[in-house]
A and B are shown apart, each in its own frame.
Chain A
């Protein structure tokens, strides 16, 4: 079955360390996204990529980095520059839709909960 796989489900990071969250999809979707979820704040966009080898900053990109070397994969690195990284991280993907008037729904992974220890 097609879908999005995030790993690991739980991740612990020591202060000053970089960690990388994995996101893989086999839906043949062009666009992929990373969101951060904090209690009471909904989902905030970190980075997104509409095509391989290209990505754009979202609303809260500081302290994060991404790469998009393959269509299927969009890993997120949480760097030591991110001062408050403890959160639930969600990866999503969408089909590229050229119709201006119609958006397409996103498919989500099961999330990674990152905790700084």
Chain B
């Protein structure tokens, strides 16, 4: 069985400070992991993905994430938050093959303050 846990439902940071959104996973197989961002009343946009190549993954808008097998974690980071980063973020796991079913975390709402 596969599961994805986002450890914080809400995170608040000041503009210009670092962002850390935490995600832990469990999977019987080597997982593929993704981070998506959702702005209000919009669909989900892919930020970055891990698919067993490099453990440090760089995405769009300055975000990156590091896959740590020993900690079963895939935390999302950004060195300096911008007001436009305020949104909801989802950590998602996937096992490949014919049954490509996605497992979603419950989301983290990021608030960026001046």
Q: Which A residues are closer than 8 A to B by beta carbons?
A: 4, 6, 31, 33, 40-43, 45, 48, 50, 88, 90, 92, 94, 96-111, 113
Contact = CB atoms under 8 A, between A and B. Distances in A.
Of the four ranges (under 10, 10 to 19, 20 to 34, 35 or more), the interface on chain B belongs to 20 to 34
A90 B31 CA distance: 23
B37 to A, nearest CB: 11
B9 A40 contact: yes
Contacts of A104: 32, 94, 96, 100
A40 B90 CA distance: 12
A74 to B, nearest CB: 15
Interface of B: 9, 29-32, 34, 36, 41-46, 49, 51-52, 90, 92-102, 104-107
Nearest to A108: B43
Given A96-B100, A100-B95, A103-B96, 11 more contacts: A6-B43, A42-B104, A48-B101, A94-B100, A97-B100, A101-B30, A102-B52, A103-B94, A103-B100, A106-B44, A108-B43
Contacts of B29: 100-101
A43 B90 CA distance: 9
20 contacts: A33-B102, A42-B104, A42-B106, A43-B90, A43-B104, A45-B102, A90-B43, A90-B44, A92-B44, A94-B100, A97-B97, A101-B29, A101-B96, A102-B32, A102-B51, A102-B96, A105-B34, A108-B45, A109-B43, A111-B43
